[in-house]
């Protein structure tokens, strides 16, 4: 039985503007079964996480352009619903699952310690509640649990060609290129070590070559001057650096 639009309520994920979330797909007409129409009401049930504002407000704009009546926390401060469980929610899960061991994951040490306190209030022993630091591992053997060796953790840099094979020196050089650009002098010499052609100066990310011809011509002359200062010929170009 087909229900009229005013009798349908959809609960969808994506209130933080996540790319390719259900709400994002609706706003972009990527859902073939459901379309946002003029007059539809869309309610964002949470505040934007700090750093997500652009994504959230961009999504709101997309929905508004389709004619939707969008309600969000900036215009109604009674909407926010936390995505994190409260103390009573956590206690309920402890009672419901009745675990032998507990390992709070996520949050900081202070959050994990508070979780440990909650569990102890329910009668759990502290030795059965493991609060782990970064790199610490846990070994499960039968019904027993113990701490394993500590794993060395660090940031792993990823580029287009590999994972973890980009060192600090490479990153530093890339940062320098990104901020300052690059200037390369191309010098062609013959077998006698003399200039075979006029030097060429190539830049990337430094200046716009078409509008800075005077500057680049000056750079070419400086290269020629440095070369000529070494004499009629030169065998080792490192002396020009």
pLDDT digits (tens, 9 = 90+) for 49-89: 878 889 999 999 999 999 999 999 888 878 777 777 889 99
- Coil, helix or strand for 160? coil
Whether residue 231 is predicted with pLDDT greater than 70 in this model: the reply is no
Q: Are residues 26 and 55 in the same domain?
A: yes
| Domain coverage including residue 46 | 9-71
β-pair partners for 145: 140
Q: Evaluate whether residue 126 is within a structural domain.
A: yes
What CATH number did the domain enclosing 58 receive?
3.40.50.10710
Q: Are residues 53 and 94 in the same domain?
A: no
Whether residue 237 is predicted with pLDDT greater than 70 in this model: the reply is no
Taking the CB of residue 223, how many other CB atoms lie within 10 A of it? 19
Q: Evaluate whether residue 154 is within a structural domain.
A: no
Compute the half-sphere exposure of residue 155: CA atoms within 13 Å on the CB side of its CA.
6
Q: What angle do CA 74, 77, 80 make, to 5 degrees?
A: 100
- Residue-wise pLDDT for 25-59, tens only, equals 999 999 988 999 999 999 998 888 878 889 999 99
* b/e sequence 49-59, b meaning 16+ C-beta within 10 Å: eeeeeebbeeb
Q: Phi and psi for 141 in degrees, rounded to 5?
A: -130, 105
Q: Are residues 128 and 189 in the same domain?
A: no
Q: Which two tokens stand for residue 21?
A: 């979330």
Q: Are residues 135 and 191 in the same domain?
A: no
Q: Evaluate whether residue 172 is within a structural domain.
A: yes
Q: Evaluate whether residue 43 is within a structural domain.
A: yes
- Hey, CA dihedral for 97, 103, 105, 110, is it positive or negative? positive
Contact 90, 122 (CB under 8 A): no
Q: Evaluate whether residue 36 is within a structural domain.
A: yes
Q: Are residues 53 and 91 in the same domain?
A: no
Q: Are residues 172 and 236 in the same domain?
A: yes
Q: Evaluate whether residue 153 is within a structural domain.
A: no
Q: Evaluate whether residue 200 is within a structural domain.
A: yes
Q: Are residues 186 and 235 in the same domain?
A: yes
pLDDT score at 203: 85
Give the predicted TM-score (pTM) of the model. 0.46
Residue identified by tokens 């390369």 is: 184
Q: Are residues 128 and 182 in the same domain?
A: no
Q: Evaluate whether residue 2 is within a structural domain.
A: no
Q: How confident is the model at residue 153 (pLDDT cuts 50, 70, 90)?
A: confident
pLDDT score at 202: 86
Number of domains in the chain: 3
pLDDT score at 161: 63
If we measure between CA atoms, which residue out of 62, 2, 55 comes closest to residue 36? 62
């Amino acid at each position: 039985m087909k229900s009229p639009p005013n009798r349908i309520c959809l609960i969808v994920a994506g209130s933080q503007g996540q790319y390719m979330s259900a709400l994002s797909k609706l706003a972009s007409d990527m859902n073939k079964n459901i379309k946002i129409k003029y007059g539809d009401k869309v309610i964002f049930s949470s505040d934007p996480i700090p750093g997500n504002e652009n994504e959230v407000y961009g999504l709101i704009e997309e929905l508004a352009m389709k004619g939707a009546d969008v309600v969000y926390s900036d215009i109604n401060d009674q909407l926010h619903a936390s995505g994190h469980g409260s103390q009573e929610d956590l206690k309920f899960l402890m009672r419901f699952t009745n675990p032998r061991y507990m390992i709070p994951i996520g949050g900081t040490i202070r959050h994990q310690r508070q979780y440990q306190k909650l569990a102890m209030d329910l009668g759990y022993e502290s030795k059965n509640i493991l609060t782990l630091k970064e790199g610490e591992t846990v070994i499960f053997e039968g019904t027993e649990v113990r701490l394993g060796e500590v794993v060395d953790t660090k940031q792993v840099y990823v580029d287009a060609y590999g994972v973890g094979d980009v060192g600090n020196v490479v990153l530093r050089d890339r940062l320098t290129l990104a901020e300052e650009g690059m200037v390369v002098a191309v010098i062609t010499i013959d077998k006698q070590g003399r200039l075979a052609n006029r030097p060429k100066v190539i830049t990337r990310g430094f200046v716009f070559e078409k509008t800075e011809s005077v500057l680049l011509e000056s750079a070419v002359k400086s290269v020629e001057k440095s070369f000529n200062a070494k004499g009629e010929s030169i065998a080792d170009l490192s002396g020009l650096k």
